[in-house]
Amino acid sequence: MVSALTDDTVGTTNIGDLRVRRLGFGAMRISGAVGPDGKRDRSEAVRLCRRVYERGVNFFDTANIYGYGQSEEIIAEALHPYPDDLVITTKAGYRPGKIERGHVVLPPLGDPTHIKEECEKSLRRLRVDCIDIYQVHVPDPALPYDETVGAFVELQQQGKIRHIGVSNVTPAQLALARELCDVVLVENRYNAGERVSEAVLEVCERDGLAFLPWQPIALGGTSAAASMAAIAADHGATVAQVAIQWLLRHSSAMVPIPGTSSVAHADENIDGAFLELTDTEMAALDVAGL
């Protein structure tokens, strides 16, 4: 299937005063795009971004640390000057660099000075004067959360960011951030098999915040993963397509952001928006992760 998304296909949602279609694109992996020779190819990464937008996706999610800043640069190279309907969210809150041996993530760094420095870098890489949505990537346990969020508030007051989002938060951290500013979205780990952010999702549903689920596919070995695999086989679809469709139908607050470094895989993921699951299949996935 090679059809472009429309507002009717996946619906739309407001993120602050910005309106986007409810299937976005996670740009974490785009710098790893490879050409026909199997080597990393910047032009292929640019083609990927353009293809995703051509397919009707008008919401891109990136971060300062993705590809050591290359993700933001590639988006700009592919799509700047940006179409009027394109919305980009980026993040800061981790210490940029390579992940140390024995660790799986970079260390948090929520120091306000660091946040402000990283904002300037993201502005340059994205070639904008104001970032659509700037996210607190992760709470830093070494600092009071309100100090980190306060840096984002200052940047907003200075006109460098339009809206503020938070990521990887508990309900208490979300509540604290909302005391300081108007939070427009939350990006937390969530899929059919991992629903520890259910309480955060409920706040988003209640108050009209967008919820971006990262890690949309349930881990192998879980009942949810087995159910998704069986449903995918019945439809001749991919597990990712089933996961995307389940998220879209599970909650109107959801804005899934599947990512990839492959144009073909991006097309597959976007085609997931057209997959039709039965109510019985949805119910099976609803209970599989509980």
Question: Is residue 288 within 8 Å of 23, Cβ to Cβ?
Answer: no
pLDDT per residue over 53-63, tens digit each?
Answer: 999 999 999 99
The pLDDT assigned to 69 comes to 96
Active-site positions read 66
Under DSSP, is residue 62 helix (H, G, I), strand (E, B) or coil? Answer: coil
Task: Say how far apart CA 96 and CA 268 lie, in whole Å.
Answer: 31
High-pLDDT (> 70) share of the chain, %: 99
Torsion, Cα 172 103 225 287, to 10 degrees, reads -20
pLDDT per residue over 18-56, tens digit each?
Answer: 999 999 999 999 999 999 999 999 999 999 999 999 999
Q: Is the pTM of this model over 0.95?
A: yes
CATH numbers and ranges of domains, the chain:
7-218+246-261 (3.20.20.100)
pLDDT score of 73 more than 80: yes
**88 falls in which pLDDT band (50, 70, 90)?**
very high
* Cα Rg of the chain, angstroms: 18
pLDDT score of 96 more than 70: yes
Task: Say how far apart CA 274 and CA 4 lie, in whole Å.
Answer: 10
